[in-house]
Amino acid sequence: MTDMKWYALLPSGLRDGAYKADNDELAWPRESALRVVELLLERGYAITGVDVWIPTIPGPTIPTPFVYDWKLKGIPRTDKNPGSALDFIRQFDWDASDSSHGNMEPVFNIWAQAYQG
């Protein structure tokens, strides 16, 4: 789960440009998501996960039956499972057999927590 207090650390342009889910979670297009991750890392946050959504109203569409997400722990790292959130967002592409979502623009919902030190 994410600690959403970090939203306040983001510049207003990034907050305002985010897709907002009906539960107040935010998600960003690729370039903005990369900037969000970089800013959080600079401010001492750990990125613990990233979910891929399709921005729809009233809330996000979660692409299924495919699983498009990245988690910090628990998944072996391979070319298809990058070792960092930045790499996951940079390299993300729809599965070649996903004919339902392949032409849609994803947004990235980021999970972050302050380092406990």
* Domain range list for the chain: 4-114
Cβ neighbours of residue 37 under 8 Å, at least 6 residues apart? 47, 85, 86, 89, 110
Per residue in 39-90, pLDDT (tens digit) is 999 999 999 999 999 999 888 999 988 889 999 876 555 555 678 999 999 9
Q: 4-114 adopts what CATH topology?
A: Ribulose 1,5 Bisphosphate Carboxylase/Oxygenase (3.30.190)
Break the chain down into helix, strand, coil percent, rounded to 5: 25, 25, 50
Q: What is the pTM of this model?
A: 0.89
Residues with Cβ within 8 Å of residue 97, at least 6 apart in sequence: none
